[in-house]
Amino acid sequence: MSPPAATAAGCQTRHAVCIPYPAQGHINPMLQLAKLLYSHGGFHITFVNTEYNHRRLLKSRGGAAAFFDSLPPGFNFQAIPDGLPPPPTTDATQDIALLSDSTSKTCLAPFRDLVLKLNDAASSSSPAVSCIVSDGAMTFTLEVAKELGIPEALFWTPSACGVLAYANYHLLVQRGFFPLKDSSYLTNGYLETPVDFIPGMSNNIRLKDLPSFLRTTNANDIMFNFVQREISKLPEATAFLINTFEPLEKDVLAALSQLSPNLLTIGPLNLLLRQVVVGGDKLRNVSTNLWTEHPECVEWLDSQQPNSVLYVNFGSITVLNPDQLKEFAWGLASSEISFLWVVRPDLVSGESAALPPEFVDETKGRGLLVGWCSQERVLDHPAIGGFLSHMGWNSTMESLSHGVPMICWPFFAEQQTNCFYACNEWGVGMEIDPNVKRDQVEELVREVMGGGKGKEMKRRAVEWKNKAIESTVPAAVPAEVSPGSDAEKIARPALQSDSEAPPMEEPEATRSAIGISAAKLGVGSR
């Protein structure tokens, strides 16, 4: 059997086309997955962004020449149109409802054309496309996979609990919970209604803890219908992938496996990536950040005491109003805790994210404000003691992977569900009221950074960190691929070549959870 080194350019016999939903929080985990396929799966990679995001990516990475020169051989990027006019500013996050509607209606033809073009150009250094790995919210790609007779894996980037909630939207509609009768149901206590009939979900969950796309009075709402349509396509995929690990979401995963027997957990991806072999630093350094990172973050953290800094980042989509920005700012100032705060240029709706000069003066010397950063490096830094987060799944997984407790302020989608589980099931979070006030921000910041409950949350976070690490170390592999397991049943036929060669095996020296996860993803080979 060939060692992983044989997956270098020129020896790749399989070609995966990876296409994320065009938002930063979906692009990043898809890139992590693509790196695993390249390094341990023996795949040539074509990573497909939208044209708008591709332009943003090239700008953030120093231009086209610098970006493409930095790529390892056999790891390529392409772009297709998203069907929308470009936003007025080049760094703006696109409207999610309009983007979802447009991609589902307009992207099939350009995506098909791209895949056919890749096949027409196939050569010894760039094999024909053998599989598609698509975001679960880009299911138009399934039609192309069917036309070409190749497998497709759907990668749902939310938490398993979030996906399970989406999968039961239809049940909530059938029982008359949604759409809402009128807008008063948002504030009259209705959303406190318990939901105890979804198999696999916590019996303590409420309507308010389910993904926010349900909260509409309009049965024709774009996102209300979009997620129901996309999740209904799961049975059509060869495999269903989620970035999680079994101890964290065991009951939820058991319920999801009833929707698709080909469910595979492939996380935590950020920990698996530490074991990348093929491609080395060049592969590790491939980035799809749409904003320019500020390297001074880590340098500043190096000067701080262990567990003394609160990291604040509301992700790539959350938008605050000016009053919310001020409440968070003055809560941080009053806490007297050191902080690193990522303030995107488009963080505040309708205007620049300008903080009051008095706040800057008040926090000088103990606060650092940046436009974007390498979150993985920040959360891994010993100076970080807590994370004020929007509860996106990437942020939640990275925080758990590094044993960092969280202050939770969910914005939309399944972030509310992640918040519920972090606070009530996993014991690692405390929630800020949606109507944020500076006094509560100050109180929770002080608690998470040094209070009694904060210390207990830290203990629980470290426990989850250890379980996450255990899920990715070599010792975990034999159980994952034991004879007769679902992973073995899926991986074995998938790794057969056209000539019915035996399935590829990892050499003993590199046999690890990352290798097995890549083997699971061999659903993409023929």
Q: Which residues are catalytic?
A: 26, 135
- Helix orientation angle between 393-401 and 452-470, rounded to the nearest 10 degrees: 90
| Cα dihedral: 513, 514, 519, 523 (round 10) | 120
Non-local (6+) Cβ contacts of 202 within 8 A are: 420, 421, 424, 425
Q: Is the peptide bond before 356 cis (omega within 30 degrees of 0)?
A: no
Best CA proximity match to 25, nearest among 111, 94, 107, 102: 94
CA distance 263 to 255: 10
DSSP-assigned letter for residue 426: S
Q: How many CA atoms lie within 13 A of 133 on its CB side?
A: 34
Q: How many CB atoms are located within 10 Å of the residue 413 CB?
A: 24
CA distance 22 to 110: 15
Q: How far apart are the first and last CA of the chain?
A: 17
Instruction: Please return the burial class of 146, using the count of CB atoms within 10 Å of its CB with bins 0-12, 13-18 and 19+.
Output: exposed
Q: Please report, to the nearest 10 degrees, the dihedral formed by the alpha carbons of residues 211, 215, 221, 222 taken in order.
A: -20
Helix H, strand E, coil C: the string for 139-174 is CCHHHHHHHHCCCEEEEECCCHHHHHHHHCHHHHHH
What would the two tokens of residue 219 be? 């049965």
Find, among 70, 505, 133, the residue nearest to 279 by Cα.
70
DSSP SS3 for 310: strand
In the sheet where 338-342 sits, what is the strand order?
Answer: 367-370, 338-342, 309-313, 384-389, 406-408, 429-431
3-class SS at 289?
coil
